[in-house]
Every structure is written in C-alpha cells, then in structure tokens.
Amino acid sequence: MTRPGTQAVPIQGADDSWYIPYTGLDPEDIRRKLIDLAVSVRLNAYAPYSGILVGATIHSAEGGIYTGCNCETVTLTQTLHAEDNARGSMIAEGDRKIVQVAVAVAPHGEHFDLERTPPMPESLTIRDFPPSCGQCLQIILEHTGNDPEVELIFVTTDGGVYTTTMATALPMPFMIDLPGAQAPEAPEAPA
C-alpha cells in the first residue's frame, strides 16, 4: 500500500505513469481525486491535542499529486499543518510549482460523505467550510509562481465542495524582492 504523505501518489494516467499529464484528464476527475486523497490522508493525522484532523492534497504543475496531514507536538507550537506537510513531500520529490490544493478538515470521529452533493448555500460565508490558515496560504503562495488563479478546494463532511482562488483567499500576501523569490529553484542535478 502506498503510504500517503511520503511519496507521490500514483494516479492512473493515460500512459499508466506515476505522474498524470495535467492536460490529459478531465478537470473534474482531477478535482475529485484530490478531494478523495485529502479525505483519506486526513485519517492518518496525528492530532491528540486539538482533535482536529486535517488532510491536504497538492497537485503540482509537474503533474505530481502529494498528500499531507497535520502532525501535532506536545509543545503545540511545533505543529505541522497538512498543507505544509504535503508541500514538503512535493519538494522532496523534486516538484516546485503548485496548481491545485484540496483540503479536508473535521474533528476526530466525524466522517466525510462524499456521495452527497448538498445545495450551495445562497450566500457563502467562511463559516460554511474550514479554509486553510493564513500561514498555509502563504506557504502555498511560495509555489504558485504568483498565479492568482491557483485553485483551492475545500470539502465539508456533508459532501459540499467549495472552490476559490489564491487571489481571493490571500488578497494581501507578504511579498518581498529577495533573490529567488517566486522563482523556486529546480532541484539540484546529480553530479
């Protein structure tokens, strides 16, 4: 069994490769796969203190799919968030650019019913779904290449799927003109 969060999760692509050709699959199928993986990796979360289990999936421009869950520490301040965990897996595999992120958040003991498609609330508020925190949005931004249209997908336990963009979720990101900023280096080539 592939252990989520430690390596690229294979998705059946047109050429049976580990990496999906981004343009080769139906965008809705990709979105559904990102959600399914976020929901399943959430169950591996280590959250004995908050009891809030979080799963996240990153889809990279290179075609990789990476998962992560939250990992708490008794010091509380050393907690690793799911999005950052998935980002670490992406970096370790050599990918650098994020095009989509899916996040599933719910307390321990709650389950996601993805078969349901509840009607959208008439006026959506932040209380209708748990979004990524500001720190994770800034971390995601690091790998968007300043693309404001990078998609964030949030799923709720009743099967609701809410999508937004980085520009909407993080309208005032921290930006500074440091060498290398927003131009993530490709992995070092082997000697």
Q: Taking Cα atoms as reference points, which of 89, 87, 84, 61 lies closest to residue 72?
A: 84
The span from the CA of 76 to the CA of 130, in Å, is 20
Q: Which residue lies nearer to Zn ion by CB, 20 or 169? A: 169
Site string for Zn ion, 104-133 (x = CB under 5 A): -----------------------------x
Question: Shortest gap between Cβ of 139 and Zn ion (angstroms)?
Answer: 8
When asked if residue 175 is in the footprint of Zn ion (CB under 5 A), the reply is no
- Provide the β-strand partners of residue 154: 103, 162
Q: How many residues bind Zn ion (CB under 5 A)?
A: 3
* Subset of residues 65 to 94 that bind Zn ion, contact rule: CB under 5 A: 81
Question: Shortest gap between Cβ of 80 and Zn ion (angstroms)?
Answer: 9
**Counting Cβ atoms within 10 Å, is residue 145 exposed (0-12), middle (13-18) or buried (19+)?**
middle
- Concatenated DSSP letters of 79-130: PBPHHHHHHHHHHHHT---EEEEEEEEEETT----TT--PPPPSS--GGGS-
Q: Taking Cα atoms as reference points, which of 44, 47, 40 lies closest to residue 65?
A: 40
Helices (H) and strands (E) in the chain, counts: 4, 5
Question: Shortest gap between Cβ of 8 and Zn ion (angstroms)?
Answer: 22
Q: Which residue lies nearer to Zn ion by CB, 63 or 156? A: 156
Q: Which residue lies nearer to Zn ion by CB, 124 or 133? A: 133
Question: Shortest gap between Cβ of 23 and Zn ion (angstroms)?
Answer: 30
Q: Which residue lies nearer to Zn ion by CB, 25 or 52? A: 52
Figure out which of the listed residues 136, 150, 153, 170 binds Zn ion, where binding follows CB under 5 A. 136
Please report, as ranges, the residues that interact with Zn ion according to CB under 5 A.
Answer: 81, 133, 136
